[in-house]
Amino acid sequence: MLVQIDGSGNARIIDYLPHPGDYAQWRAGLTDAEHAAIVAEIDRRMGDKEIEASSFLPGQDWTGTPFWPIYESACNRDFDAARKFFGLLVWEYMRGRPDCWCFGRYDVRNVAVEGLIYFRVRCPE
């Protein structure tokens, strides 16, 4: 489950997917089996982590990984589109988790991280 915490500490559940038109277009370029393999690989790589940057999760070379069809088929070899679609797939995955996660844009060692950083939090009551 994705939650957003405002400056007063109030949490709200995120129940939407950003850029639904782009997502639908790119998702149509994947088979159900490819989508399932991508989600399974995201889950495997997340493991029991408490924090993860979406841009670090897939690694730099997608060749031979379940992520390759994102670039090859869904996004027609458009690297920028593939990165954005991968970010939406991670968002979708995090929304579906039973535990609670927040997200934001942060710097790591004074360098801006391109994707969102997700971190596990206690679920709001």
Is residue 56 predicted with pLDDT exceeding 90?
no
**pTM here?**
0.91
The rounded percent of the chain whose pLDDT value lies above 70 is: 100
Mean pLDDT of the region 34-51: 95
DSSP 8-state secondary structure symbol assigned to residue 74: I
- In the prediction, which pLDDT does 44 show? 95
Greater confidence (71 vs 105) lies with 71
User: What residues make up the domain containing 43?
Assistant: 3-121
Is residue 111 predicted with pLDDT exceeding 90?
no
> Where are the strands (E) in 1-125, listed by range?
3-5, 11-13, 51-53, 100-104, 107-108, 111-112, 117-121
- In the prediction, which pLDDT does 10 show? 79
Instruction: Compute the chain's Rg from CA coordinates.
Output: 15
Is residue 96 predicted with pLDDT exceeding 90?
yes
Q: How far apart are CA 51 and CA 102, in angstroms?
A: 10
Q: Strand 107-108 to strand 111-112: parallel, antiparallel, or no bridges (unpaired)?
A: antiparallel
Is residue 9 predicted with pLDDT exceeding 80?
no
Q: How far apart are CA 110 and CA 86, in angstroms?
A: 24
Is residue 78 predicted with pLDDT exceeding 90?
yes
DSSP 8-state secondary structure symbol assigned to residue 7: T
Task: Please count the structural domains in the chain.
Answer: 1
In this structure, the chain runs to a length of: 125
Q: How far apart are CA 15 and CA 113, in angstroms?
A: 24
